[in-house]
Structure 1
Amino acid sequence: MNFGQLITAMVTPFDEQGEIDFIATRNLINHLLESGSDGLVVAGTTGESPTLTLEEKVNLFEFTVQVVAGRVPVIAGTGSNNTRESVQLTKQAEAAGVDGIMLVVPYYNKPSQEGMFQHFSVIAESTSLPIMLYNIPGRSSVNMSPETIIRLADIPNIVAVKEASGNLDAMSDIIENTPSNFALYSGDDGLTLPALSIGGAGVVSVSAHIIGPQMKTMIGHFNSGRIREAATMHRRMLPIMKELFAAPNPSPVKAALNLEGVAVGGVRLPMLPLTDAQLNSLNRVLHKQETILL
């Protein structure tokens, strides 16, 4: 399964009552596809998965599959720290017609490496869908080692990893020691180009909501050997990428989308909207970068 190079971890639009806004979701999906996204992750961390009910997630999967209509792969975030619940949601996602699933390292209960291996193995056995693992120690409090990822890559339908440890040495180890058709994606926007340079497949991005065309151009420059141009774009995009994580994700990117005229509403507690000072800072960076990135 080729998920593409620029995959967007899509926010979940809410209305004024804090319910999923499906009209805004349709508009957002079309905005992302027009901006160059090769695939969409639905109900991941950026989609506020911890605050979505299982029913809301399934509704979101079904709706996204319907709107996307085969234009790009739809990857459902079905991972949790409850193996049985993840199996159940994965089966529901498969029935909804998604193209793949993303499974995060179990958070809070801090499993051992063997516990992680067995958790992902059991879920993989429950589905025929291709699986992207998701290693994000900053949120899960445990790091899945390269050795565990390499072991899991031998399971036929585990085909990719979103590596958000920020560790390029670990990424190199994984790329070197997994099958050639196993794809490593950076989970950090700012490491997109470095990850590509060591053999990574691309990025699962938050910033692509705002600078998708520019990220797509940078990746295209890299693919065609125009490394200097790619590096220049990388440096110019970094301020926006940093600003989009200046407060807990996805508050900044939702605010940025609203500022750019793509209405997605606010965030659910325990996330908070940006303060006036944070919003002003975001606005300044967006306006400054618009002139630089033209």
Structure 2
Amino acid sequence: MTTTVTATAPVSPRPFGRTLCPMVTPFTEAGALDLDGAGRLAERLVAEGCDGLVLNGTTGESPTTSDAEKARLITAVREAVGDRVPLVAGVGTADTLHTVELALAAGKAGADGVLVVTPYYSRPPQDALEAHFRQVADASGLPVMLYDIPGRTGTRIEPETVIRLADHPRIVAVKDCSYDFLGIQKVLARTGLACYAGCDEHVLALYALGGAGCVSTVANVVPRRIAEILEAFEAGDTARAAVLQRRAAPLVEAMTAAGEQGAVTAKALLNALGLPAGPVRAPLRPAGRAAADGLRAVYEEFTAA
């Protein structure tokens, strides 16, 4: 017998929506930006349940797109989806001044908010990190989502630093890829920040604790299935939400935890489904035949359930 429990509304606000997708950046076979494909892919994601899109993020291969390409992508997606969903633009770099420039350009191109990753490679201390984020937030008129992903940047935004940054009026959210579930609970308890799960295996868990939703790589290929997890929980059917999260686990593992980067796996599946994606840019390499076949098999088993 299925037990239905009434779930309370999330504690976090939702400045950028509930089910966000860090959209891949489609390229042509020659490697150029595919703006028409980007518009079609964005339309599909919105139609299938995403109420926010993140552009020029990790899955969007931001390290290998130029500043001009980033702005053009934002403009093209804005034209495709209109004002139906918020657009959050990744602007984080290893250089504070460059990050400010990208944040200003994103606003001009049509973004509703900016995603600012921890400066990488130089590994600044926490006081320098705090100053970096404040400088970007001061310079841009757009609301800011902090992006904590130490596995890629080499530096954690410590919970106490996030808590201090929450006093800035334009720092409104955090995308959590820290794998420190206790740390993000501290942020939830002590701030009004919108906390988004950036790891697909944490989508339901963080939402159940009062998170705002997710920024889901897996949503690139199964947007409706990811949205349904949070919809079921919010409707009070917590048992169904848990079942849906568990069913997604094999695809989550195949796309995000099996050795290939999310941009590679998402593009492999989108290409196999005839959807806009195209190649990845070097130094990334496309999924090999065996990996692509394995991804497709996991996807087909999941979608058949």
Question: Scaled by the length of structure 2, what TM-score is found?
Answer: 0.93
1:138 and 2:154 equivalent? Answer: no
Q: Deviations over 1:140-165 (max 9, x none)?
A: 01111000001111000000000101
- Return structure 1 stretches of 4+ with deviation > 4 angstroms: none
Give 1:36-55 correspondences, 5 Å limit. Answer: 36-55=49-68
Residue 198 of structure 1 corresponds to 209
Residue 285 of structure 1 corresponds to 298
1:7 and 2:2 equivalent? Answer: no
Q: Deviations over 1:75-100 (max 9, x none)?
A: 11111110000111111111112111
Question: In structure 2, which of residues 247, 255, 258 is the aligned counterpart of residue 244 of structure 1?
Answer: 255
Contact 2:40 2:80 in 1 (8 A): no
**SS where residue 222 of structure 2 aligns?**
helix
1:110 and 2:94 equivalent? Answer: no
Residue 5 of structure 2 corresponds to none
Q: What is the CA–CA distance in structure 2 between the aligned matches of 1:83 and 1:66, rounded to whole Å? A: 29
Q: What is the CA–CA distance in structure 2 between the aligned matches of 1:211 and 1:29, rounded to whole Å? A: 13
Residue 135 of structure 2 corresponds to 122
The one-letter code sitting in structure 2 at the alignment partner of 1:158 is: I
Contact 2:15 2:172 in 1 (8 A): no
Q: Deviations over 1:225-274 (max 9, x none)?
A: 21110000000011111111221221011111111221310100000001
Structure with more relative contact order (C-alpha pairs < 8 Å, separation 6 or more): 2
Residue 228 of structure 2 corresponds to 217
1:155 and 2:171 equivalent? Answer: no
Question: Scaled by the length of structure 1, what TM-score is found?
Answer: 0.97
Offset, 1:212: 1.1
Q: What is the CA–CA distance in structure 2 between the aligned matches of 1:124 and 1:216, rounded to whole Å? A: 30
Q: Work out the number of aligned pairs and report it.
A: 290
Q: What is the CA–CA distance in structure 2 between the aligned matches of 1:226 and 1:220, rounded to whole Å? A: 9
The one-letter code sitting in structure 1 at the alignment partner of 2:112 is: D
Aligned Cα root-mean-square deviation (Å)? 1.0
The one-letter code sitting in structure 1 at the alignment partner of 2:264 is: S
Residue 166 of structure 1 corresponds to 179
Q: Which runs of 5+ in 1 are unaligned?
A: none
Residue 78 of structure 1 corresponds to 91
1:208 and 2:206 equivalent? Answer: no
**SS where residue 238 of structure 1 aligns?**
helix
**Mean Cα displacement is larger for which, 90-99 or 187-196?**
90-99
Residue 27 of structure 1 corresponds to 40
**SS where residue 116 of structure 1 aligns?**
helix
**SS where residue 261 of structure 2 aligns?**
coil
